[in-house]
Chain A
Amino acid sequence: MNFALSDDHRMLRDSARAFLDEEVNLQPLLKRGATVEQVDYLGMWGKIAELGWPSLIVPEAYQGLGMSCLDLAMILQEMGRALLPCPISGALAGVWSILKGGSEAQKERLLPMAVTGDLKLALAVCDADGTCDGPASDARATADGDDWRLNGSKAFVVDAAAADMIVVAAENGGRRGLYLVDATAAGVEIELLRWRDTTRQLCNVRFANASAELIAADDAEIWPWIKDRLLLVLSAENAGGLQKVLEMSTEYAKQRMAFGRPIGANQAIKHGLAETFGLVECSNAAVLYAAWMLSEAQPSASLAATMAKAYTSDAYRKATHQNIQVFGAIGFTWEMTNHLYFKRARANAEMLGGTAELRSHVIDLLMREAA
C-alpha cells in the first residue's frame, strides 16, 4: 500500500495543467448570452485529440493508450479545474458504453475512430424526470428486420449536439438496451437546452423512427458499470474545481483591503477558508480512492464512486458559494468566473442523482453488505 501519488501521476497532472492553463480562455464566456461556441468548443476537441486524451481509456487492442481510471482522474481533475469547454464528457461516456456493451466487431470498428478524435460520441441515458437507471425509458426501440428503429426522447444528454453518434438507452420488451444512432440521421432531432452551466452543452434528443444499431439488448449489467465511471468523472471535476475555487478565494482574501487590513486577516473569512481546505483534502481523497477502486475492479468500487460523487458535490456547492461571498459584489457579476464555478457545481451535483439519492444508495449498499 502507498497512499501517495506516484511521480508518473504527478507528471500527468502537471502536464495537463500546463496545457489547460495555456489553452483555456473563459473570457469570451463572461458575457450574458455567450455559449461554448465562443470558446472554441470544437476546436478544443481537436487539440485534446492531438494530446491523445480521447484514447486514454481505450485498450491498446483498439489503438488506445489503455490507461486506468486512476490515470484518467489526474486529467479529469485538471479539466474540472479549468472548466474545460470541450465535448470530452460525452465522448468518454460513449466510449465506455461501447467498451462494455458492444460486440467485438463494433469495438474494432468504432473505438479506433474515437481514439483519433474522428468520431465524437455521446450517451443519452437520462429521461425527462431526471432518472437514469432504467429499465424504463422515454425512448423505445423496435426491431425492423435486422435494423432497429427508435422513437420517443431522451433528456439532459451531455454533448449530444457535438456528437457524430449517440448511444441511446431505449426500452424494448421490458428491458432497457443500448442502441447507436447517427446524430445527423433522419428522425433524430437535437435541441440545445438553456443549461445554466454555460461551460457545457446539454441537449434533449427526440427520435422519430430513427434508424439505429443494437449495441446491447439489456443494459442491466452494463449501465451500473458505466455509471460508476461517470460518477468518477463528475467527482474528479468537482474536486479539481474545488481546489481552484479555494485558490481564488484565498488569493483575493490576501489582496482585498478593508478597515486597513486584508479581509483574510478576519477569522470569519480565514476560518471559512480553512474549512474549505478540509473539504479539498477529503474530496481529493474521495476521488483518488474511487479511481483506484475502479482501476482495480474492487468489489466496493461502486460504493466508493457513489460516496465520492455525494461528498464532492456538497463540498463544491459550498465552496463555490463561499467564493462569491468572499469576493463581495464583484463576485456576483457575470464578468467574473465565480459564477461559472458556482453553476458547474450546482449542475454536477444534480447529474446522475442528487446527493440525497446517492447517500440513500450508500446506506442500501451498506445494508446489503451487513445482511
Chain B
Amino acid sequence: MADASPLLECRNVSKAFGAVQALWNVDFEVRPGEVMALVGDNGAGKSTLIKGIAGIYPFDAGQVFVDGEEVHIHGPRDAARLGIEVVYQDLALADNLDIVANMFLGRERTRGAVMLDEPNMERAARETLDSLSVTTVKSVRQTVAGLSGGQRQSVAVAKAVMWNSRIVILDEPTAALGVVQTRQVLNLVRRLAEHDLGVAIISHNLHDVFEVADRITVLRLGQRVALFEREKTTQQEVVHAITAGTLDAVPGMETPDAEAAPTEVEA
C-alpha cells in the first residue's frame, strides 16, 4: 500500500489572505486506502489547504494532481466531479432541512425535469447510513437542527461517501464529540480507507491521529515542516514538529526561528 501512487497530490501550493500567508509552497498527498492525517497548531493553514482542494477558493500558486493528472478545481462541483468530498469543520449542513435533503443538497434526484424524487432519495440516504453502520439516526426525515453532534457528523460523512467519491477529507470530525461518538467516527474513518478510498483527516488530537492514521503531514505557519509514517514515529516527535518544525524563509516575512532541524522525512 505504501508504494501506491497518490490519488491526490498537491505540489507547492500557496495561498495568501491579504498580508497573511496562510499556505506557502505546501506539498500534500493522499494514497488510495490510506488515512493521511493533517496536523498543526491553530492557524497553521490546515483548513485553508483543504478548502483550496475543495475549490472553495483558488490557490494562488502550485499544482493539484488527481490520479497523476493535473487538475484545475474552480468550485465545489469540479471537486465533486473528481471524486473529492469534504466534511467541513463547521459541517455545512442546513439546519432547517431534513437529513435526506442535506445529503442530496445540490444533487437532488428528480422525476421528470423538475420534480424531486423524494422516495428515491430517502431510500438511498437510508441505505448509505446503514452501510456505514450509522444506527443512531432513527428517522432520515428529521431536521438536522435536532441532531446531536455525533449524529450530525455521521450525516456529514455519509453525505460525503454517498457519491462515487474516492477522496474524503474530514476537518476535525471529532472535535466536538464525546468518547463514544469519537470512537464511532474514527471507526467510520477506518472503514472508508478499508474500502480503498483515500482519506485525509485534520485533527488536534494526536491520540486520535495515532489511532487512525497511516501517515501524518505536519503544517506550521503555512508550511509543511514534516511528513511521518505513523509506525516509525512517536507523539513527541510530532509535537515537536508542530511547535518547532523548521521553516523556510518566506519572502517579505521574518523567519521566526532557526532552531535545530530535526524532523524532515522523505517526501
A and B pair up: no
Q: Tell me the A residues contacting B by CB distance below 8 Å.
A: none
